[in-house]
Structures are given as structure tokens and as C-alpha cells.
Structure 1
Amino acid sequence: MPNRNDKKERERNDGVLVVGLGRFGSSLAGTLTRLGQDVLAVERDPDLVAQYSGQFPLVEADATNPTALEQLGAKDFPVAVVGVGTSLEASVLVTGNLVDLETPQIWAKAVSVEHGRILTRIGAHHVTFPEADAGNRVAHLVSGKLLDYIEVEDGFTIVKMRPPKELQGFTLAQTKIRERYGVTVMGVKPPGEDFVYAVPDTRIMANDLLVVSGHAELLERFAARP
């Protein structure tokens, strides 16, 4: 059982409260723990509590009950993540309780645009759509042109890809990629070597990997070139 009185330690480590141990919440809590973050997970399903016991600090409680959250010391956490997605009512209640506790940062999982809109209106600071984001990413990878795809915000995206043939053997200055395609090569990885920051004199070869940033539509057009 985690120490509920260790408020100062949580604040120093930027503790994170994770509510809901579905696939999203459990993955998040596990990753944060490996990164050295102080985590407390809250789950009302005893089977899930038993499943993840010992992997990270967790308690069995109903976070839709504001009294339960207060007793857990939820107000001491600067960041809370609501991973409840299967029940719209539970998601809204938990988020509303955290808003009432004046949690500085509330991240909430949404399963639809309407769900996300409600969470935003009641006070969630960040709304994430993990299923939609994953589907979007996989769709780009399945196309075969991209090796990795991360949409940051408002269409700005970073991808990992092989260079189109027309760029191979030329330096970035010679290719004028930004001028011609509206995207920026941030890094280049030759075979067997580490990624290096791209500069105008960086020469692009056929087997290189490129890290390229820009608007999603421009990157898609750029990656579609033979």
C-alpha cells in the first residue's frame, strides 16, 4: 500500500494519478513507473487490481465517488489521467471530481468526438483519443511508405521514412526539400550509425533513414514520391 502521507515526495517527483486500469491506463501507469515517475493507480475492479498488483502502486476504489478520491490524497497530485473509456458516465464523473479538487493538469481519454467535447466542457485540460490516434498511425504504416508516424498537434507530424529516389546522392541544400515540398528533414541515420541532426551539407543516400517534420498532408505527398 503506498504511503498516503508522502505529499512532499509526490510533488517533488511530479506524481501522476492514473484512474482506470484498462489497456490505456495500465500501459500508461507501467510506462510512467519505468520512467521513474511516482504513480498511484486507482481501479474499482478487484480482478484488475489483482492483475496489476506489484507492478506499480495501486488501490482499489471507486473514483466516481469524490469522497474516495479525497481519502486517497488525489488533490496532492499535480497531474491526473482519466483512463476510463468504456463508461461515459464514469469518465465524466471522475473528471468532474478532479476538476472540483482543482487538479492542475487533467488528462482524459475519450472514445469519440462527442465524449471529448463533454470532457473539455467540464474542465479537462487535455483530451486524448488513443484508439483514433493508433488507427491513424497504423493506417500510415500499413501504406508501406512510412516506418513511423507521430502526429504532434494540429496536423504537425513527425515521420520516419526512406528517401525518395530523386533525393538520393544529393545534399539537403541541393534538394531544396523545404522549398519544394514544405517539409523539413530533421535527422538522418546512415546504415549502422546513429541519427545525426540534418544540416545543409548532409548528403542523403538510398539506405538512409530520414526523420521528417511538417503538416500531415505535405508529408503524405512527400512520402508518396517514388
Structure 2
Amino acid sequence: MANFLFSEKFSFAKGDSVVVIGLGRFGGSVAQSLMRLGHDVMGIDRDAAPVHEWADLLTHAVQADSTNQQVLRQLGVADFAHAIVGIGTDLAASLLTIMTLTELGIPDIWVKARTAEHGQIAQRIGAHHVVYPEKEMGERVAHLITGRMIDFIEFDDGFAIAKIHSPASSHNSTLADGQIREKFGVTVVGLKRASQDFQHATPGTQVLPGDLLIVSGPTHLIQKFAGHST
């Protein structure tokens, strides 16, 4: 066990904190992406090697047994808004960890599943989202977890097309008046408003609170625009 005072609680802003359990290829990729997006990330793994590897790259990296509720409670995991279970080959440890997180009342649990059966069981015992690594990449999941992007497709050159909630900075103005392309370097190509048909965007398209926007551009610029509140 790594040197750690279990009586010490970490202090995280609930909306910005994520605990990643299992720091293998998938968990490490998601954790790294979330750090780049400015979130506090605690990484947990039962083995020392990945903890040492990620110690200087994450907000905190801890060697611990994620199936032990008391250990997770002492680590302050119950205060996290999101949890990602990226445990690889140990199905029992994955499922027991999900149960433990559920008992702690984590409101948003994401699980890496190896098979459809694994995913089905995970959802039955409390997982809110199931990710299949062969279909989902860590970068994509990180964007979705933040809540800024509803969905997106990223191409090899870093260009993406994304569906996002309209940011507050774009509300109650036309695309031309808001100068979104000039200010943010992205292009709004379409808009979907509740109870209305999808519409292709024009300079005169007005954006209202609650609208969904289809945006194209470099992934990092879309992410910046999606999180822009003023």
C-alpha cells in the first residue's frame, strides 16, 4: 500500500472532480484527457506500477483496493461527481467496484466493459454509462463526461463535428452578430430547437437558450466554445 493517510480528505469542487479507477490504457487515456480539460482527477489502482507512472501527471494518484467501501470513503471518493471504472481483465473487481461506488452514492458512474454481458450486469448493479473500448476512445469519453459536448466525431487531423448545448455567450443573438467564427474559430452548421425541425445555420440564425448546435472546427476550439459562459 502506498504511503497515504486515509483520514485525509481531498477537497474537490464537486462539479469538476473525477475519480478514475484502473489506470491501464483506457483509464489512463481518459484521466489524461480530463486533466487537459482542466478537471481535478484522482487516479486509483490496486497495483503500484501504474500509480507511480501517473503520480506526477494527475491531481492525485493512489494505490488502493477499490472494492473496499471504507477505503474509498476515507479517500473522499463519496464527494466526487463522476467515477470511471476502467478495470481491465478482472471482471469481479470491476463489478464489486461498481457496487461500492453505488453504495457511496456517486451520481454518475461510467464503466469500461469488455463484453455485452459485462455491460449489462454493470448497468443492473448501478452503472449509469457503459463504454466499450473498441468503440469508444478515451478522448471522446472525457469530452462527454464534462457535459460540454453531447456527442462528437473527431477525425485524425484534430478536426471534429460536435453536438453541443448552446453556450450562454451565444444566446439571444444571430450567428452574424455573435461573431462566433471570428471569436472562437468554429463554424455553426446547424441548429435544433425543441419541438422544431433541424435547421441549417445562416448568418441570420438566432440562437436561444436550450438550443442544440452542430459545430465544426478543431476539437480544442469547439471545447473552448462549448464551455464559454459569458
Which bracket does the TM-score occupy, shorter chain normalised?
0.5 to 0.7
Displacement of 1:94: 0.4
1:133 deviation in Å? 3.5
Count of aligned pairs = 153
- Does 1:46 pair with 2:48? yes
- TM-score between both structures, scaled by the size of structure 2: 0.58
Q: Distance in 1 between matches of 2:119 and 2:130?
A: 6
Unaligned runs of 5+ in 1: 135-150, 161-188, 202-209, 212-226
Conserved 8 A contact 1:13-1:38? no
Bigger relative CO (Cα 8 Å, ≥ 6 apart): 2
Question: For residues 44 and 6 of structure 1, do their structure 2 counterparts lie closer, same or farther at Cα, with a shift above 3 Å needed?
Answer: closer
| 1:35-184 matches, cutoff 5 A | 35-56=37-58, 57-133=60-136, 152=151
Distance in 2 between residues matched to 1:13 and 1:159, nearest whole Å: 25
SS of the residue corresponding to residue 16 of structure 2 reads: coil
Query: 1:13, 1:37 within 8 Å by CA — same for their partners in 2?
Result: no
SS in 2 for 1:92: helix
User: The residue matched to 2:66 in structure 1 has which SS?
Assistant: coil
Q: Distance in 2 between matches of 1:22 and 1:73?
A: 22
How many angstroms apart in 2 are the aligned matches of 1:12 and 1:63? 20
TM-score, scaled relative to structure 1: 0.58
Which string of whole-angstrom CA distances, capped at 9 and with x for unpartnered residues, describes residues 100-136 of structure 1? 10111111111111110000000101111122345xx
SS at match of 1:130: coil
Ranges in structure 2 where 5+ consecutive residues have no aligned partner? 138-149, 156-180, 190-200, 204-214, 217-230
How much does 1:86 deviate?
1.3
Q: Does residue 197 in structure 1 map to residue 194 in structure 2?
A: no
Between the aligned partners of 1:127 and 1:22, the Cα distance in structure 2 is: 17
Whether contact under 8 Å (2:83, 2:109) holds in the other structure is yes
Could you say which structure has the higher helix fraction? Answer: 1
Q: Which amino acid aligns with 1:5?
A: K
SS of the residue corresponding to residue 13 of structure 2 reads: helix
Structure-2 change in CA distance of 1:6 and 1:65 (3 Å): closer
In structure 2, what residue type is equivalent to 1:34?
A: R
Alignment partner, residue 198 of structure 2: none
What secondary structure sits across from 1:18 in the alignment?
strand
Tell me the CA shift for residue 197 of structure 1.
3.0
Structure 1 CA distance, aligned partners of 2:153 and 2:100? 35
Report the Cα distance in structure 2 between the residues aligned to 1:195 and 1:18, rounded to whole angstroms: 31
2:35 alignment partner in structure 1: 33
> Are residues 122 and 55 of structure 1, via their aligned partners in 2, closer, same or farther at CA, if it must alter by over 3 Å?
same
TM-superposed CA distance for 1:12, in Å, is 4.8
CA contact (8 A) 1:80 1:105 kept: yes
- Does the C-alpha gap of structure 1 residues 13 and 85 become closer, same or farther in structure 2, counting only changes over 3 Å? same
Bigger shift: 75-84 or 63-72?
Answer: 63-72
The CA RMSD measured in Å over matched residues stands at: 3.2
Matches within 5 A, 1:19-30: 19-30=21-32
